Every structure is written in C-alpha cells, then in structure tokens.
Amino acid sequence: MPDATPQAPPPPQSSQPTPKSQSFPCPSCSATMVFDPASGGMKCPYCGVKQALQAAGEVASHSYDEAIKGNHAKQAISDKALQVNCTSCGGSVVFVPPEVAGVCSFCGIAIVAAPKAADPLIAPDAVLPAKIVKNVARDSVKTWLSSRWFAPNALKKMAQQEGISAVYLPFWTYDCDTQSRYTGERGEHYYETEVYEENGERKTREVQHTRWYAAAGQVSRSFDDVLIPATKTVNEKRLNKLQPWNLEELRNYEPAFLAGFKAQRYQLELAEGFGHAQSVMRSEIESDVRSDIGGDEQRVTGIDTKYSNVMFRHLLLPVWLGAYRFQNKAYQVMVNATTGEVQGERPYSVAKITMLILAILLAIMLLVMMSNGKSSHQRYREQNSLPKQEFMMPEHHESISRLRKLPLSISGRAFDLTSDKTVGMQSAIQQT
Ligand SMILES: [Zn+2]
Ligand SMILES: [Zn+2]
C-alpha cells in the first residue's frame, strides 16, 4: 500500500535476491516499489528511493470499427497481474503482487476465490494518476460521515476500522463524427384578436396560436471524449457526481501505476459502452436539430444518425473506495483520488430519527399547550371578568387535562411519518 507502516516486513536480504519475481524492484534495496500519489512516481516503502515515471504524452486512441471486428489485440493488464472475482457482487479486480485482494473493494465481503493470472483484455491506454494519499482520503471519509445526520454511531466506528482501498475504475471514452437527417415540424406563433364578454361588457384580447410547417434537414457534430463508466459494481449516479476528472493529466498506461493499487476489470464491453455513448450524444444531437428547425416551437418526428470515424480509449481513473457491510447490506463510500471529492451511501439510524421526531413532538406539544392555555384563560377571563393573576392555577390545570388527550392523536401521526421517511431503510437499521 502507498502508506507503508514501520511494522512492514524488512526488505529482502541481498543474499537471497528475487528481483526477477519482484514486479517493481527498488534499484537500491530490491524491495517492491509502489506508486506514490504524493510524488506521482514510484517510491520504495522501505528505503524511500524514488523513481520518476514517464512524462505525460499524447494518449493514442484506436479505431472502434477495427476493435469490433476483433482486430485489436487483447492482453493481460501486466505480465504479473492476478485477478479475482467476487462471487457476491460480480466485481472483478486485477492487482499486481505483493498487493492482495482479501476483501472485495466494492461490497466488503471476504474474497474466498484464489487469484489466477489476469485474463486478457483491451489494455488500458491511459491512467489518471492518483494524487490523494490514503490518510487524506481516510480523513475525508471521516469528515463526510460525521457531517451526515442520522448515521448510526456503530457505522462511524466501523468506517474508521475497516480501511479504504485504492482502486482504478475502468472507463471508455469515444470520439466520433455524426451526421443526422431529421424530419419534424416548425411551429410559429401568431395572434388573433378575440371578442369576449365580461360583466355584460364587450372586450377584446390577443390569443396565441401555433401554425405548423413541415421541416427536414441535416445536422452534423463531432464529439470528443464522451466518458462512459465501464463498471457496474459502483453506483453510477454517485460516480458521475465524483466529476470532474481532469483528462488533460492522463498519462500513457504502464503497469507501474498499479503497484500498490487495484484495478477493476471493465464490466461493460466496448460495444455496450458505445451504446451508452450514443444515448449521451443523441440528446445533444436533438438539441442541434431543434435549433436547426427554428421557429417558436419544434416537433421532432425522426432522427437518423450516422456515426463515423469512431475512436475509443480505455482509461483507468482512481478512487479510494470504502465498502462496508452494515446489518448484512453493503454500502460504498468513494473519494475521487485526484480531487478529494467524497460521495457515498450510508444507513440511517432509526433510534436517532425517532429521537429527533420525539423532540419535535415535544416542542409541538409545548406550543399547543401554550396557545390553548392562553385562549382558555382568555375565555375564562371574558366569562368571569376577573383579574388575570388570580387564575393562574385553574389555567394550569386545564392545560394539563388537555395535554392528556393530545399525545394519542399526535403520536399516531408521528409513526406514519416515521414509516414514510424511512421506507426501504428499515431492514438495514435497528439501532445506533
Ligand atoms: Zn528500497
Ligand atoms: Zn464484491
């Protein structure tokens, strides 16, 4: 892991060197170097020696058509890489020893399957190197959790104990040119003067109508880097909220970036990803079509798009991922490892919510008591025309007897409220 602790085993002795089996041997002590987010290069966790990785360069993209025809060679993510599949969530993680995958990064369950050599895949073209170190990411998660209302205390404790792991998530990006023929109608507003009667008086007003004209034409647009997540084991909405990713800082892929990290194998194939990209592009094409039709309103009846010069890249983008299980349900917290943005999910504490509702009810009851007290007191005073001070006691008595009738109706409503607000969470939560 990037933050090696002093308890780490000593570096291998030079009498029994195994540099050949080491993935990234330190030039000084031959221990395994790991990627160091702080420096953006490799670092030996034992002797601290640093090594630069190649500078950023143009990241090549590939022909989509050729890859679909099977003309894009597949290969393992690195020769030393191992792969394990999680039987619980279906996630498949690739890592380079000495990294291990004891617990699934996505669902928090212990992985029992033995790692095997990584399957060949469309190799990553580029990596966005992690910049946030583990301690910083862990602190962000702690801060995020403590700012969540109603998070069970047990969860906060658990989140502190079970760590987080650095995972590169797979993405596809697509570039392409599009040409779209469309048919539709252009609506133009016109106004007519209408005569109407109000209170026996003749009046006129302008009324808006729309005249429709057939419209057809062609629009074209080029797309650059349409980014599509190729993972299914991470909540897509939350993943989108982790944006922006600064793709300007992409580096050409080399296995060294994976040292000390894991990478998820893509779960969305190249063609499936392009389907997602097309739906992203379609909504932009439709707004092009509408502005091409012009007029005051538009109806679009058909768009036929030709996609050409489709190019793709396979990217790995870094997150710190915490997966924890709480009462048998998996929850994820993600940190963008380049910006520190945190997104996550957590259970709610029924006990805390109930306590808040009870506190609100108590406040409402006090308010009701006070206003009832006043009005009854006023009534009493009106009927008896007596000075206020002498009737403090009777007022108090009456309020209390009213109060006895109140709680039933109010608490009935409160329990409805509870079940409404916590629908779907009940099973996950019992106590703090
Ligand atoms: Zn070293
Ligand atoms: Zn899993």
Ligand 2: centre distance to CA 273 (Å): 22
pLDDT score at 423: 35
Of the listed ranges 23-32, 33-42, 189-198, 403-412, the least confidently predicted one is 403-412
Q: Are strands 82-85 and 92-95 parallel, antiparallel or unpaired?
A: antiparallel
Contact 141, 345 (CB under 8 A): no
pTM passes above 0.85: no
**Three-class DSSP category at 203:** strand
Does residue 311 sit in the same domain as residue 355? no
Ligand 1: centre distance to CA 43 (Å): 8
* 154, part of any domain: no
Please write the tens of the pLDDT for every residue from 339-353.
Answer: 999 998 776 667 777
Does residue 242 sit in the same domain as residue 372? no
Ligand 1: centre distance to CA 49 (Å): 6
Ligand 1: centre distance to CA 48 (Å): 6
In the chain, how many domains are there? 3
Q: Which ligand is nearest to the CA of 102?
A: 2
Cα dihedral 98, 100, 105, 109 in deg (nearest 10): -170
Count CA atoms within 13 Å of residue 283 on its CB side: 5
Task: Tell me which range, 11-20, 268-277, 322-331, 362-371, is most confidently predicted by mean pLDDT.
Answer: 268-277
Ligand 2: centre distance to CA 93 (Å): 9
Ligand 2: centre distance to CA 153 (Å): 24
Ligand 1: centre distance to CA 21 (Å): 15
When pLDDT is cut at 50, 70 and 90, the band that residue 290 belongs to is: very high
**Mean pLDDT, rounded, for 4-20:** 42
Does residue 274 sit in the same domain as residue 369? no
When pLDDT is cut at 50, 70 and 90, the band that residue 24 belongs to is: confident
For residue 117, give the amino acid letter: A
CA distance 274 to 172: 8
Ligand 2: centre distance to CA 135 (Å): 24
Of the listed ranges 91-100, 227-236, 381-390, the least confidently predicted one is 381-390
CA distance 46 to 11: 7
**Mean pLDDT, rounded, for 204-232:** 95
Does residue 195 sit in the same domain as residue 308? yes
* 9, part of any domain: yes
Ligand 1: centre distance to CA 223 (Å): 46
Instruction: Read off the tokens for 45.
Output: 């966790």
Does residue 307 sit in the same domain as residue 354? no
* 123, part of any domain: no
pLDDT score at 244: 92
Ligand 2: centre distance to CA 232 (Å): 11
Q: Which ligand is nearest to the CA of 232?
A: 2
CA distance 242 to 3: 23
Q: Which ligand is nearest to the CA of 51?
A: 1
153 or 63: which carries more pLDDT confidence?
63
Does residue 371 sit in the same domain as residue 310? no
* 149, part of any domain: no
* 133, part of any domain: no
CA distance 377 to 385: 11
Does residue 305 sit in the same domain as residue 406? no
Ligand 2: centre distance to CA 239 (Å): 17
Does residue 187 sit in the same domain as residue 267? yes
Percent of the chain with pLDDT over 90: 41
Ligand 1: centre distance to CA 263 (Å): 24
Task: Tell me which range, 27-41, 87-101, 393-407, is most confidently predicted by mean pLDDT.
Answer: 27-41
Does residue 373 sit in the same domain as residue 251? no
Domain that holds residue 288: 170-318
* 70, part of any domain: no
Ligand 1: centre distance to CA 10 (Å): 10
Ligand 1: centre distance to CA 31 (Å): 5
Does residue 415 sit in the same domain as residue 295? no
Does residue 193 sit in the same domain as residue 305? yes
Radius of gyration over every alpha carbon of the chain, rounded to an integer in angstroms: 32
Which letter does DSSP use for residue 265 in this model?
A: P
pLDDT score at 400: 42
* 396, part of any domain: yes
Does residue 423 sit in the same domain as residue 301? no
**Mean pLDDT, rounded, for 191-201:** 92
Ligand 2: centre distance to CA 105 (Å): 7
* 74, part of any domain: no
Q: Which ligand is nearest to the CA of 106?
A: 2
